[in-house]
Amino acid sequence: MVSVSSSIARPSSLRLHPLPATRFPPVASKCFFHCAASGTTTRVCELKIWMLERLKWQKNIRTHGWEKKPRMLQVQDSVEETTSNSEVAESSPPNVQPIIPKVLECSTESSSSSASGNSVDRAPSLCIAVVGATGELARNKIFPALFALYYSGFLPENVGIFGYSRKDLSDEDLRNIVAATLTCRVDHHENCGDKLDAFLDRTYHINGGFNNKDGMKKLNRRMEQIEGEHEANRIFYLSVPQEALLDVSVSLADNSQTKRGWNRIIIEKPFGFDALSSYKLTQCFLSKFQEKQLYRIDHRLGKDLIENITVLRFSNLVFEPLWSRTYIKNVQVILSEECGMEAQGRYFGHYGVIRDIVHSHILQTIALFAMEPPVSLDGEDIRNEKVKVLRSIRKLNLNDVVLGQYKNSADKSGCYMNSLMPTFFAAALYIDNARWDGVPFLVKTGVGLIKHRQMIAGLLLDQVEIRIQFHHVPGNLYRERISHNIDLTTNELILRDQPDEAILLKVNNKVPGLGLQLDASELNLLYRDKYDVEVPDSYEHLLLDVIDGDTHLFMRSDELEAAWNILTPILDKIEENKVVPELYETGGRGPVGAYYLGANHGNAFSSGINFEVILELTKFESSSPNLVLAVSLMNASRIEDDSSSSR
């Protein structure tokens, strides 16, 4: 037998995983015994021992659900060895130091901390600061979304909600302001009051005053009181005007970031006013933060419609092969926004519909729709593909753009006549790549368009619709059986957003009865009929993505630059030429010029204008072939609208 010394020196800093009572299987002991003759072979056998034990530990994790990061034991010189450690010493060959792989070492808290009753497994705390806490956006959207996430269990119990403003408010004052806008959703019934009280108890106010540097230091100290000495993560939602954004962000970066976890910064649009201002803003942010910390938010991208674009395409074999110029004739993206004071302030201030909606929501929707399949669903992989699409969009000309401005129907002289800021924008975009060459992407967005405006609980809501029109069937055998206008029989896939969420597929079918007559019908998935749940607000979706670190619905700096490179030239031309927007009635269907645009590109938007306008246009049919086509398309669109309503 080999004599084994039991006094092998053990490094004082060695820390080991706690292991089961039987440390090594029998085969391991045999390996030590037979390998004593050779130092090199002994080291190989010791490695085998460790590998066998590691595999056994991982099997226990899968079988019994053990923690993947078990508590560690710190072994010191004066500490008495455990039974398992003694077994290792007794089994070791003479003068051979046991090889302990570095993966067994750890730097967590010592066993004395566990003995004192402090939990070393405490989850990281999360602090969320809403900068601009008394503003309309914070009160009506951000705080309600945070409460909904808290109620649903998506926020940790040790969360801290901080409202930062310049007002001299107490914690209780802020809680009263926030409580006035908090409600439980229809599917949130149980313990709603208790959850509401618990959420408000975790809400605090910081008076930042007029010196953001001092204010952010106060915010940091208050957060540290909640976090203690444990790992902590922080989210800062910058709900502030553009002119205050740089000062707030620089003060935040220097004085409020945690060093014991991650920091994430949410920035509201618009992200600059043109390519140059956006570039300067981006460079300032990147001088203080890493790109992975920045989350440029557009609440419209948090809607289920946007997620459904990629889900329908990449999870259904019936659609993926059709997603190209070979089968798709055109793509239409249509958005109508409520005609409220907030929209008026944005449009007739400095932003306008192009900077506010087209730059982020419309272009991001097109990028998600038209991108190549990403390597994975990782946010960076998706953003890599989106930016390729944005860089491939053809330069816009004034002939490809229609501007409009709504007028108040109660004011016969028109509204905001002294401003040239558009509230309506239509354009034909082309993507110059192999997949989409020659396919027009027709976008139309504006305030108060009748078909895409819905009212719920007395509030006008945005509605978005994406329509994919396919080519006609080549050599269609049933052409003679189709109605006089073959455009009405075009196959379409329609994605519609709330409140009438739906996925519709327009197909041709035989009319029941004798004879052979074809009709265009819709195969529909109506969300309100299929799913008996209340759809979460888009802010809930996006805030949860920020917490999870999912970036695919947020614009990266290179996406931002590519989008401005598309729009800045056309904005400059509009400014230089003093283009006057065409007036249209609130509650109507937008400017007539949008149908000129559709006619020029051989397509019609899905919703027409007032029939009375068509009658006026027909007086001038002889003067313009394109106008004749526009009138025909508008008539077809009106007929389609009527038939859809009847169905």
Active site residues: 361
* CA 407 from centre of chain: 34
- Strand order, beta sheet including 294-297: 203-207, 160-165, 125-131, 232-238, 263-268, 294-297
Q: Pairing between strand 440-447 and 328-337?
A: parallel
Pair 374, 382: CB distance under 8 Å: yes
Rounded-to-10 torsion of CA 158, 159, 160, 161: -150
CA quadruple 392, 396, 399, 400: dihedral sign: positive
Rounded Cα distance, 119 and 475, in Å: 74
Closest CA to 124 of 256, 235, 267, 16: 235
- Alpha-carbon span 558 to 385, nearest angstrom: 12
Which tokens in the block code for residue 47? 């490695």
Planar angle of CA 248, 254, 257, nearest 5 degrees: 95
**Strand 232-238 relative to strand 125-131, pairing:** parallel
Separation of CA 590 from chain center? 29
Residue 137 has what DSSP assignment?
H
Among candidate residues 124, 128, 207, 105, the one with its CA nearest the CA of residue 164: 207
**CA separation for the pair 439, 427 (Å, rounded):** 13
Asked if 260 contacts 538 with a C-beta cutoff of 8 angstroms, the reply is: no
Q: Go through the chain and tell me how many residues it has.
A: 647
Rounded to an integer, what distance in angstroms lies between the CA atom of residue 269 and that of residue 246?
13
Question: HSE-up of 192 (CA within 13 Å, CB side)?
Answer: 10
User: Please, which residues have CB within 8 angstroms of residue 405's CB and are 6 or more apart in sequence?
Assistant: 416, 419, 420, 421, 422, 423, 424, 581, 582, 583, 584
Query: Of the candidates 275, 240, 451, 241, which has an alpha carbon nearest to the alpha carbon of residue 359?
Result: 275
Over the Cα atoms of the chain, what is R_g? 32
Residue 124 DSSP SS3: coil
CA distances from 637 to 149, 315, 333, 487, 568 (A): 42, 32, 16, 9, 33
Contact between residue 61 and residue 99 where contact means Cβ atoms under 8 Å apart: no
